[in-house]
């Protein structure tokens, strides 16, 4: 049987000192998620999409799939969690650049309770608690946060965490169509239906080797075709020279 991938169950989102969600100077914005469906309703410009993006970024931080992965073949060698080009997604929405704004997300992954706190001006990790135990932050998310999230979700890597979040948990405008996208389907099946997280990671590594070999074969084929074309040109040149020399010999004899 495949491993059970743990999807995030959101419990509470608390946003402080962020002008977009601040009823007054003293209050914080708090969203207590209820069991079952939760609806976020409001007129345009209130920040509904920003709030959903904020929840996503609380989990991923300033890391995402390579833009080429969102548009091309998922699982290429250069596809890995990479730092997003602009960390100031939420800072641009408010006049004070979110200098003191923070967000805290409480959620469950399987039987584990997580509390994640990030700054909103650059998405930097402030604190990370698992089952009421404060974990060290490290130099950046790659040191402790990303491996821990991947382990708690029972995925092969943080790359698979991003695959699950982007294609199964959240729906954004740039999400690829899973129904007609062969590459996205293959990655979803690999990440969620592998027997173990290690097998999911090994399958991804083998796929990357195949993609690298295919790319190398394509490049070699291009070079071979160029060499073949140059050889054909050289043969035609020699044939043309021989014909010209023969014509010149006959003309000299006739003269």
- Answer for the pair 30, 178: CB distance below 8 angstroms, yes or no: no
DSSP string across 80-93: S-EE-S-S-TTGGG
- Answer for the pair 5, 193: CB distance below 8 angstroms, yes or no: no
In a domain, 138, yes or no: yes
The pLDDT profile of the chain, 255 residues, written as one tens digit per residue, is: 556 899 999 999 999 999 998 766 667 899 999 998 999 888 888 889 999 999 999 999 999 887 666 566 665 545 466 676 678 889 998 989 999 999 999 999 999 999 999 999 999 999 999 999 999 998 999 999 999 999 999 998 898 999 899 889 998 877 766 666 777 788 888 888 888 888 888 888 888 888 788 888 999 999 999 888 888 888 787 777 777 787 888 788 777
Q: What is the pTM of this model?
A: 0.78
- Answer for the pair 97, 121: CB distance below 8 angstroms, yes or no: yes
**How many domains does the chain divide into?**
1
- Answer for the pair 186, 177: CB distance below 8 angstroms, yes or no: no
In a domain, 124, yes or no: yes
- Answer for the pair 156, 137: CB distance below 8 angstroms, yes or no: no
In this structure, the number of other CB atoms found within 10 A of the CB of residue 80 comes to 15
Question: What CATH number is given to the structural domain containing 99?
Answer: 3.40.50.300
Distance CA 183, CA 163 (A): 11
Angle between helices 197-254 and 182-193 (to 10 degrees): 150
Residue 109 contacts by C-beta under 8 Å, 6 or more apart in sequence? 6, 7, 8, 9, 149, 152, 153
Distance CA 166, CA 157 (A): 14
In a domain, 2, yes or no: no
- Answer for the pair 96, 20: CB distance below 8 angstroms, yes or no: no
In a domain, 179, yes or no: yes
Distance CA 34, CA 110 (A): 17
- Answer for the pair 7, 161: CB distance below 8 angstroms, yes or no: no
Domain assignment of residue 85, given as a range: 8-197
Q: How many helices (H) and strands (E) does the chain have?
A: 6, 8
In a domain, 232, yes or no: no
Beta strands in 92-171 (DSSP E): 102-109, 112-119, 125-130, 133-134
In a domain, 172, yes or no: yes
In a domain, 236, yes or no: no
In a domain, 226, yes or no: no
Element spanning 215, H or E: helix 197-254
Q: Label residue 6 exposed, middle or buried (CB < 10 Å: 0-12, 13-18, 19+).
A: middle
């Amino acid at each position: 049987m495949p491993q059970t991938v743990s999807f995030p169950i959101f419990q509470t989102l608390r946003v402080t000192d962020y002008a977009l969600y601040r009823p007054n100077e003293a209050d914080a914005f708090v969203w207590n998620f209820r069991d079952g469906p939760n609806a976020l309703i409001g007129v345009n410009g209130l920040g509904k999409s920003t709030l959903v993006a904020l929840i996503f970024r609380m989990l991923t931080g300033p890391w995402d799939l390579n833009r080429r992965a969102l548009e091309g073949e998922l699982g290429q060698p250069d596809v890995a969690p990479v730092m997003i080009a602009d960390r100031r997604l939420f800072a641009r929405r408010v006049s004070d650049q979110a200098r003191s704004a923070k967000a805290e997300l409480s959620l469950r992954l399987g039987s584990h309770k997580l509390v994640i706190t990030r700054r909103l001006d650059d998405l930097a990790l402030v604190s990370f608690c698992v089952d009421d135990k404060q974990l060290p932050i490290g130099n950046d998310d790659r040191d402790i946060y990303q491996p821990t999230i991947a382990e708690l979700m029972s995925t092969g890597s943080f790359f698979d965490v991003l695959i699950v979040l982007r294609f199964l948990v959240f729906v954004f405008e740039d999400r690829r169509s899973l129904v007609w996208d062969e590459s996205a389907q293959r990655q979803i099946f690999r990440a969620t239906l592998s027997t173990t997280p290690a097998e999911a990671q090994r399958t991804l590594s083998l796929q990357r080797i195949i993609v690298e070999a295919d790319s190398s074969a394509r490049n070699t084929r291009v070079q071979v075709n160029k060499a073949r074309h140059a050889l054909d040109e050289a043969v035609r040149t020699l044939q043309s020279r021989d014909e010209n020399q023969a014509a010149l010999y006959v003309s000299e004899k006739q003269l």
